[in-house]
């Protein structure tokens, strides 16, 4: 995929799936602005890796659930590279637990990071995209947002919300040359899944027809497609990258 002359903002871009997305876009020549809420060293390392593969990159500290920080993220992007052509909403957290034991503050934190953060970023990005009559927005959901999963009621709710946000925004923005799509990863080998108990991993693998976990690069290639010119007539869609788990 070619992204020369395009500027992409990738939230949660310091590691895992976010890092793979940043590198995939940078390989195509994109200017990449990646943000993270915590691990600034990892963010700087990812930015350096993006420049090594051919893109320009900027790492910004940003809590996407904070409207003021999101505005600062877009202001810095504007100052460094101009307007945003591609937005990838990847930032997210999980607080796993059963419905009856989940804490209210866990619900608030997960919805703020996963859903409100995407909303805030989309709102700012869309304004500039509408003026230029061009844009690509890709939101990271999850197969649990489609299927549900015991012990992940809060996380699943946030990821299901992403799907409604995606489809509604796609209809609102289509006439302005802006596409809005979602990628729903399944069991992907990342730091987040590495800490799961072995029995939980084995149970997940048993539901995957391909018999293996996915890689961050598997997800990044799907995101890059939705961010590219090749997907110009595709909007409001959800692509599961899950080895057949959701079939």
User: Does the annotation mark 155 as catalytic?
Assistant: yes
Count other C-beta atoms under 10 Å from residue 28's C-beta: 18
Residue bearing tokens 């009621």 = 153
Q: Cα(44)–Cα(189) distance, rounded to whole angstroms?
A: 22
| CB within 8 Å of 104: residues ≥ 6 apart | none
Count other C-beta atoms under 10 Å from residue 174's C-beta: 13
- What's the first-to-final CA gap in the chain, in angstroms? 27
Name residue 7's beta-bridge partners: 31
Q: Cα(56)–Cα(8) distance, rounded to whole angstroms?
A: 10
Q: Cα(37)–Cα(231) distance, rounded to whole angstroms?
A: 30
Residue from 119, 134, 155, 233 carrying the catalytic annotation: 155
Task: Identify the CA nearest to 4 among candidates 73, 78, 85.
Answer: 85
Q: Cα(247)–Cα(240) distance, rounded to whole angstroms?
A: 9
149-154 contacts at long range (C-beta below 8 A, 24 or more positions apart): 150/98, 151/96, 151/97, 151/98, 152/94, 152/96, 153/97, 153/98, 153/99, 153/102, 154/94, 154/95, 154/96, 154/97, 154/102, 154/106, 154/107, 154/110, 154/111
Residues annotated as catalytic (active site), given as ranges: 155
């Amino acid at each position: 995929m070619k992204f020369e002359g395009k500027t992409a903002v990738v939230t949660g871009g310091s590691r895992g799936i976010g890092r793979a997305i940043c590198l995939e876009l940078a390989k195509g020549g994109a200017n990449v602005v990646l943000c993270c809420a915590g691990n600034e060293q990892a963010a700087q390392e990812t930015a350096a890796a993006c420049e090594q593969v051919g893109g320009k990159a900027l790492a910004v500290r940003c809590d996407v659930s904070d409207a003021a920080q999101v505005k600062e993220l877009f202001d810095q992007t504007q100052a460094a590279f101009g307007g945003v052509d591609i937005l990838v909403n990847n930032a997210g957290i999980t607080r796993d637990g059963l419905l009856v034991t989940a804490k209210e503050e866990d619900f608030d934190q997960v919805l703020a990071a996963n859903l409100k953060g995407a909303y805030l970023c989309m709102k700012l990005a869309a304004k500039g995209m509408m003026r230029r009559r061009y844009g690509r927005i890709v939101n990271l959901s999850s197969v649990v947002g489609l299927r549900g999963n015991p012990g992940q009621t809060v996380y699943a709710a946030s990821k299901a919300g992403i799907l409604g946000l995606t489809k509604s925004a796609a209809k609102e923005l289509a006439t302005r040359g802006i596409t809005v799509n979602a990628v729903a990863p399944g069991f992907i080998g990342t730091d987040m899944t590495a800490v799961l108990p072995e029995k939980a991993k084995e149970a997940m693998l048993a539901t995957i027809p391909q018999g293996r976990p996915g890689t961050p690069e598997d997800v990044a290639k799907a995101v890059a497609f939705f961010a590219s010119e090749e997907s110009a007539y595709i909007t409001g869609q959800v692509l599961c990258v899950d080895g057949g788990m959701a079939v």
